[in-house]
Amino acid sequence: MDFAKLREKMVYEQIFRRGIDDQNILNAFTDVERHLFVPEDKRSVSYEDYPIPLSCGQTISQPYMVALMIKALCLSPGMKVLEIGTGSGYQAAVLCAMGADLYTIEINEVLAKSAQDLLKALGYNCKAVVGDGGLGWPEQIVFDRIIVSAATDKAPKEWGNQLKSGGLIVAPIGGFLHQYLAVFEKQNEYDLIRKDICQCVFVPLSGKYGRKTPEE
C-alpha cells in the first residue's frame, strides 16, 4: 500500500478540510507514519476516519480527534507537555514532531513498553514512564500543557497542581457515553476555567480516578 499517499489524503480530507489549517499541525500529521502505530493486521485501515482498537481494550483515536485536541492545546515548540495515556505512542510522536518537550505516562505496562520501544526506534525523544496518569507525573514538574487521552468525571486536582498559571489542559470529561472534549485554563494558583469544544467518546481513565463500571 502507498501509505504516504494515504497519509496525505488523511491530512487533507480529515483534518485540513475540517478547519484545522495550522501548518505545524498539518506538517506533523504528514510526517508521522500512523500505520506504524497500529496493529499489523489493521494497517490497511491506518488512515481511515475512525478509531482503531489496540490490545487491552484501548484504542488509537480518530485522526481528526487527535488533531482537534492538539489544536486546542495551542502548542508552541519547546513547551513542556504532559501526555496522560501514551497508548500506541501515535499522539506522542505527533507532539514530538511539533517540537514539544514531552513527558508521557501510561498505566498499562504492555502498551507502555511497546510505545516506548517504537518511539525510540523512530527517533522521537520523550520521557516515558509506566504509572497512574490520574496522579500526574511522578516527580514534581510544572507543565505548560497537559493532554489526556482517556475520559474522567472531572480533572483531578493533581493535574492542576502540575500546571503553570496560564497553562491549558485538554481532556475528555464525562461518563461512558456522554463526554465533552474540554479545555481547562489555569487562571491563578487554584482555579481551572473550563470551556467545552464538542461531544466525544473516549475509553475511561484507569487508576485512582477511573470508573470501574458504567453504573458508578
* Residues labelled catalytic: 61
182: left (phi over 0), alpha (psi -120 to 50) or beta: beta
CA distance 84 to 4: 28
Residue count (the chain): 216
Side chain identity at 143, as an amino acid letter?
Answer: F
Return phi, psi of residue 32, to 5°: -80, 125
Question: Can you state the percent helix, strand and coil of the chain, rounding each to 5?
Answer: 35, 25, 40
Distances (CA, A) of 88 to 13, 16, 31, 53, 182: 23, 24, 17, 10, 22
- Judged by DSSP in three states, 1 sits in coil
Residue 175 near residue 154 (C-beta atoms within 8 A): no
